[in-house]
């Protein structure tokens, strides 16, 4: 991708993914229909608001420029946990979670990713 296109595309992707994940996590954490569906998982009831609330907080941090790296890595961890929970329950429709995670990874500044890899 040319720098000319990348310049507006990455922030637009960050805002799109951040707002979509924020909305979805709030619906998951606070809607009655999500609560009703979650009962069937057999997980403790506190997991739904804890996971959804944490995901919403991470999405907010991801949208705020000074905290976008921390919020991005938090989102990657939370989306990974959500994917794992889905797979362990036999729900293999995790495509959206994987796409969100890859979009978050693209939006984390390259410098931050390089520093994280060098420190590992």
pLDDT digits (tens, 9 = 90+) for 78-93: 999 999 988 998 889 9
Q: Please indicate, yes or no, whether the overall pTM of this predicted structure exceeds 0.85.
A: no
Q: How confident is the model at residue 62 (pLDDT cuts 50, 70, 90)?
A: very high
Alpha-carbon gap, residue 17 to 100, rounded angstroms: 7
Q: 10 or 116: whose pLDDT is higher?
A: 10
Query: DSSP state, 91?
Result: -
Q: Structural domain tally of the chain?
A: 1
Do 75 and 58 meet the contact criterion of CB atoms below 8 Å apart? yes
Instruction: Indicate the SS3 state at residue 59.
Output: helix
Q: Residues 19-54: pLDDT tens digits? A: 999 999 999 999 998 888 888 888 888 988 999 999
Q: What are phi and psi of 93, to 5 degrees?
A: -90, 65
| DSSP state letter for 94 | -
Range of the domain at 97: 3-119
Cα distances from 107 to residues 14, 15, 39, 101, 111, in angstroms, run 6, 10, 34, 10, 11
Residue 80, pLDDT score: 95
């Amino acid at each position: 991708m040319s720098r000319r296109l990348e310049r507006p595309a990455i922030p637009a992707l960050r805002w799109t993914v951040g707002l979509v994940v924020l909305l979805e996590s709030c619906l998951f954490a606070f809607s009655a229909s999500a609560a009703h569906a979650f009962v069937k998982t057999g997980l403790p009831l506190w997991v739904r608001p804890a996971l959804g609330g944490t995901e919403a907080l991470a999405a907010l941090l991801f949208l705020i420029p000074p905290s976008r790296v921390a919020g991005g890595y938090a989102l990657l961890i939370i989306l990974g946990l959500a994917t794992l929970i889905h797979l362990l329950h036999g729900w293999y429709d995790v495509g959206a979670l994987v796409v969100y995670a890859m979009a978050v990874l693209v939006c984390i500044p390259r410098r931050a990713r390089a520093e994280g890899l060098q420190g590992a």
